[in-house]
Amino acid sequence: MKQIESSELGHLSHIDTSVLDGRNVLLMPVWDGQSWSQWIPTGDKKLMKISVVDVGHAAYLAEFPADPSDVFFGFIDFIWQRASWPQLVPLFSSICDDFHLMATSVAKLEHLHASRESIDRLLISSFVKTELEYLITVARSVFDLLQEAVARFWNDKITLLDAEMETKRKRHKLPPTFSKVVLNGDTSRTAKEIADRYGLPPGVAEMYEKHAPFFKALRASRDGIIHGGTTIDTIFATEKGFCVDPKSRHYGDYPWKEEHYYNSAIVSLSPWVARTVFQTMEACSDVMFSLAEVISFPGEIAPGYKVYMRDPSNKALLRLLDVANGS
């Protein structure tokens, strides 16, 4: 398998401030360990360096994070460093924005719990339900943004060395929606069925199969909320956190453990939120890195540096990561 048209990538780094060459490369601040810098286009296909006092909400380049709460996410680093084609950058930027929105939802849930004594108990339940419905909608949108980007890359920028698989790839274009890849009607496709239909490498098809059950649950919740008139079930505000009925329609598919139970009837909402956020992120990483294992992507734009995410909501996101890891 080989990649073609890699020359379309704008090889622009913060070290070699060469001409823009008309490429759609997302410029970002750079932390050198002591201070911030930023480059901006001047209009004559060149870049001008400016000084930045601080960064409040952005992705940035650094060898090490400027703050312990700044997050490194391999998927975001990879797409900026090695997959910044003009056709893909807007889609990847939208995914990054959705990651920020999910982090914000996590922080809002924390804030609502901390402020629960000053909010009417019925109103706080409505606040939390609204935020969860929004979180489901954003997470669902990430899957189609991811799939649209992968489809554009797969359909337009690669050629398979295996003639039979290349024929399949050309005959059956990879769809731009995640559901059309992993589902045949309401039935999930196996990895073999996905690979056979679209000519995808087995390892890539396995990642689609891996995340199909979660995607189906997310899709059902989102469609029920948007199209079916259903709402998130009752929220219980306790001193230990928000809780839900583990048998209700939106939470019944989660593998609840004994330590999640507040009492015999309700469970902590946090593990479910953690899965919604982090499995959505994990799906992006799994699909992209499985492609990288079999396709030769261009080299890094900024070798030796990583892309970090700074967001005021990161601390809440990191606390939720502790929950995802069993806290």
Q: Structure pTM?
A: 0.86
112, 119 Cβ separation under 8 angstroms: yes
Tell me how far CA of residue 70 lies from CA of 7, 59, 66, 76, 312, in angstroms. 32, 9, 7, 13, 9
Give pLDDT, residue 259: 93
Question: What contacts 59, CB < 8 A, 6 or more positions away?
Answer: 26, 28, 76, 80, 96, 307, 308, 309, 310
CA distance 22 to 28: 17
Please answer whether residues 213 and 240 qualify as being in contact, where contact means their C-beta atoms are separated by less than 8 angstroms. Answer: no
CB 248: neighbour CB atoms within 10 A?
12
Residue 310, amino acid: R
**How much is the pLDDT for 25?**
52
B/e letters for 52-88, b = 16+ CB within 10 Å, e = fewer, are: eeebeeebbbbeebbeebbbebebbbbbbbbbbbeeb
What is the DSSP-derived secondary structure letter of residue 37? E
Half-sphere exposure of 53 (CA within 13 A, CB side): 1
In the chain, where the domains are located: 2-320
Residue 23: per-residue pLDDT: 36
What are the residue ranges in the chain where pLDDT is below 70? 1-26, 226-231
Q: Give yes or no for a contact between 215 and 221, defined as CB atoms under 8 angstroms apart.
A: no
What digits encode the pLDDT tens for the residues 72-110? 999 999 999 999 888 898 999 999 999 999 999 999 999
Contact of 214 with 114, CB cutoff 8 Å: no
pLDDT number for residue 20: 31
Q: For residues 70 and 277, what is the distance between their CA atoms, to the nearest angstrom?
A: 17
* Among candidate residues 232, 269, 300, the one with its CA nearest the CA of residue 83: 300
Helical residues (DSSP H) of 158-269, grouped into ranges = 163-171, 178-182, 191-198, 202-226
Question: What distances in angstroms separate CA 26 from CA 39, 71, 93, one per listed residue?
Answer: 11, 18, 9
| Residue 4 φ/ψ, nearest 5 degrees | -120, 165
Angle at 224 between CA 185 and CA 253, to 5 degrees: 80
Q: Write out the H or E segment, with its range, that includes residue 247.
A: none
Q: Which of 251, 233, 254 is nearest to 324 (CA)?
A: 254
Percent of residues, the chain, with pLDDT higher than 70: 90
pLDDT at position 2, please? 32
Q: How far apart are CA 132 and CA 250, in angstroms?
A: 10
CA angle centred on 280, ends 279 and 281, rounded to 5° = 90
Query: Can you give the pLDDT at residue 230?
Result: 65
